[in-house]
């Protein structure tokens, strides 16, 4: 007796996000609004897609490709203070997407957010599953920040923040705290953690009655904010950088032919906001190093 082959299936929101159409949360909202059809019927939350199914969003058909066959793109963006990480803002504040080039394959999805008054490294990709995994606590991806704080910081306070403090949404702690120098109101620390909760870095400091006057994300996983990069600039991630992110999150690597590589590198328009090829270093961007040097002397 022949056994029936069971076709693998995946949640609709995951499949559509993988195609770079939006984040999972956005797509769940589209399903609730009746904008998505599966095999000619209005989709419902909980529906699953399997190979051969027909998918449409707002009446437009979606060609579903496996992640190994997609053209995956990534951007590094140096977010300035005063910009929001959203496509639309009720207060009409400047958004990071206002500066970014149009993505020719899907749309840009940010791997997490930085609040209005936090600057630094934002990673973006056109692959929803990669963006989701980069944000997910399961993958324990380290984020590192440069924090300028007001007031004296004692060894007891540092020990408390490394051991863990209670916030309104649970326990939080820094993985590492390094004194980066400076005096008085210009004292800097480098801190790292493996979560991305809302204002988490600031709230950990505030639990010790210490105010953060400036906060800059300088590393996300294996990627360091490029030396010499200025606020508001972006650059495309290389194959190696993308593959390290894919490997860290358990996704298959990019394997492209030479012709595909040319297509990959032409996927973004040239721009005055795209810095020259990055020089990788463990050092901070030049502007930050100059700031530190000024206050260390």
The residues assigned a catalytic role are 115
* Residue 162: partners with Cβ closer than 8 Å, 6 or more residues away: 173, 174, 175, 176, 177
Main-chain dihedrals φ then ψ at residue 240, nearest 5 degrees: -60, -45
Closest CA to 196 of 246, 144, 242: 144
Encoded tokens for 79:
């977010």
* Residue 25: partners with Cβ closer than 8 Å, 6 or more residues away: none
H-helix or E-strand spanning residue 134: helix 128-135
User: Could you tell me the end-to-end alpha-carbon distance of the chain, in angstroms, rounded to an integer?
Assistant: 82
Encoded tokens for 144:
């590192």
Neighbour-count burial of 65, counting CB atoms closer than 10 A to its CB (0-12 exposed, 13-18 middle, 19+ buried)? exposed
Distances (CA, A) of 277 to 79, 200, 229, 237, 293: 18, 32, 10, 10, 26
- Read off the DSSP letter of residue 287: H
Collapsed DSSP state (helix, strand, coil) of residue 296: helix
Strands 211-220 and 118-125: parallel
The residue length of the chain stands at 297
Answer whether 294's CB lies under 8 Å from 287's CB.
Answer: no
Main-chain dihedrals φ then ψ at residue 108, nearest 5 degrees: -80, 135
């Amino acid at each position: 007796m022949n056994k029936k082959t069971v076709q693998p299936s995946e949640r609709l929101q995951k499949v559509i996000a993988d195609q770079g159409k939006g984040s999972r949360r956005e797509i769940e909202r589209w399903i609730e609004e009746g904008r998505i059809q599966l095999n000619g019927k209005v989709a419902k939350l909980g529906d699953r897609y399997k190979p051969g199914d027909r998918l449409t969003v707002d009446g437009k058909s979606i060609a579903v490709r496996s992640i190994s066959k997609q053209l995956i793109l990534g951007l590094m963006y140096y977010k300035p203070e005063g910009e929001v990480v959203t496509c639309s803002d009720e207060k009409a504040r400047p958004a990071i997407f206002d500066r970014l080039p149009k993505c020719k394959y899907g749309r840009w999805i940010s791997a997490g957010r930085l609040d209005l008054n936090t600057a630094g490294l934002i990673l973006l990709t056109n692959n929803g599953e990669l963006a989701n995994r980069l944000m997910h606590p399961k993958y324990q991806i380290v984020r590192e920040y440069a924090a300028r704080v007001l007031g004296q910081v004692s060894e007891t306070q540092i020990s408390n923040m490394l051991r863990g403090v209670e916030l309104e949404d649970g326990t939080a702690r820094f993985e590492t705290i390094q004194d980066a120098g400076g005096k008085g109101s210009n004292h800097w620390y480098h801190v790292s953690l493996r979560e991305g909760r809302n204002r988490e870095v600031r709230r950990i400091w505030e639990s010790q009655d210490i105010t953060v006057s400036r906060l800059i994300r300088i590393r996300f996983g294996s990627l360091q904010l490029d030396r010499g990069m200025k606020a508001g600039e972006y650059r495309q991630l290389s194959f190696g950088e993308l593959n390290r992110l894919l490997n860290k999150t358990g996704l298959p690597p990019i394997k492209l032919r030479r012709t595909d590589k040319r297509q990959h590198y032409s996927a973004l328009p040239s721009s005055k906001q795209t810095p020259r090829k990055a020089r990788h270093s463990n050092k901070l961007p030049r502007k930050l190093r100059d700031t530190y040097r000024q206050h260390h002397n």
